[in-house]
Structure 1
């Protein structure tokens, strides 16, 4: 799927957010500045979270509990050299919230069996355009992606 600006990236995130339920785990992949936090803002919007969503780079985990479901936004970039075992990640993954993980490759051994990977790529010729690819792992996430594809009108069409 393609988005042509930040507003469309937020809209796509919100469409996904409407389909998520407690216990869902989303892994966001993309280079620095690809739009991972922008996409997360859309999910938060769908959950009714009004507080500004910020990148959790320096805090590792930001918790937003005032929405329909709790949202746990994680950035594991600083754990490139380990240290995730002290964070209690399994409590988040097995809890009653929605978990979004950026830079998940640094906690690969702690991830649940099923999750949805979202890869966000900036267009090399236009800094506003994003290509967003969904890679479901598990039947639940395959159904979510099918529903999202049916509901979302790609602005590039």
Structure 2
């Protein structure tokens, strides 16, 4: 599958990447967000949801584990699995709705929910790079590869 790296020198660059991704989306997608604490996973998710038209306050799902938002074309789910110790803990969350192919699913700390999450279309790794960040986008499905192609 295809991959690309994007330098993110500041929060504006992170927002610009999220806007470009939002413009390239043509339906549902499962995006796994990897990175250390403070690497920008939540900032990226918020910027993407905002770019997709979410007008309400976008809360961090750190304590609630999952937040849902109405999008013009469906639903977005934002999960933060940092506090999950075992993927079996996710059973009570009712993750069946995440299997909807028209839904956008954003998952922070996906390694903590391995085996309980839908298969990813796109993996985004956010890392520290100098005074800013770096994003590595990797397609994990044909849908993810088409998205990366549309990003140009």
TM tier, shorter chain?
Answer: 0.7 to 0.9
Moved more, 101-110 or 78-87: 78-87
CA RMSD of aligned residues (A): 1.7
Equivalent in the alignment of 2:48: 43
- Structure 1 Cα separation of the partners of residues 141 and 103 of structure 2: 18
Q: Is the 8 A contact 1:114 1:137 kept in 2?
A: yes
Moved more, 6-15 or 17-26: 17-26
Give the gaps of 5 or more residues in structure 1: 151-157
1:73 alignment partner, one of 65, 71, 78:
78
TM-score, normalised to structure 1, is 0.84
Q: Is the 8 A contact 1:74 1:100 kept in 2?
A: yes
* Structure with the larger RCO, 1 or 2 (CA within 8 Å, 6+ apart): 2
- Structure 2 Cα separation of the partners of residues 134 and 8 of structure 1: 15
Equivalent in the alignment of 1:153: none
Give the gaps of 5 or more residues in structure 2: 1-5
TM-score, normalised to structure 2, is 0.86
- Structure 1 Cα separation of the partners of residues 16 and 72 of structure 2: 17
Question: When the two structures are aligned, how many residues end up with a matched partner?
Answer: 146
- Structure 2 Cα separation of the partners of residues 86 and 57 of structure 1: 16
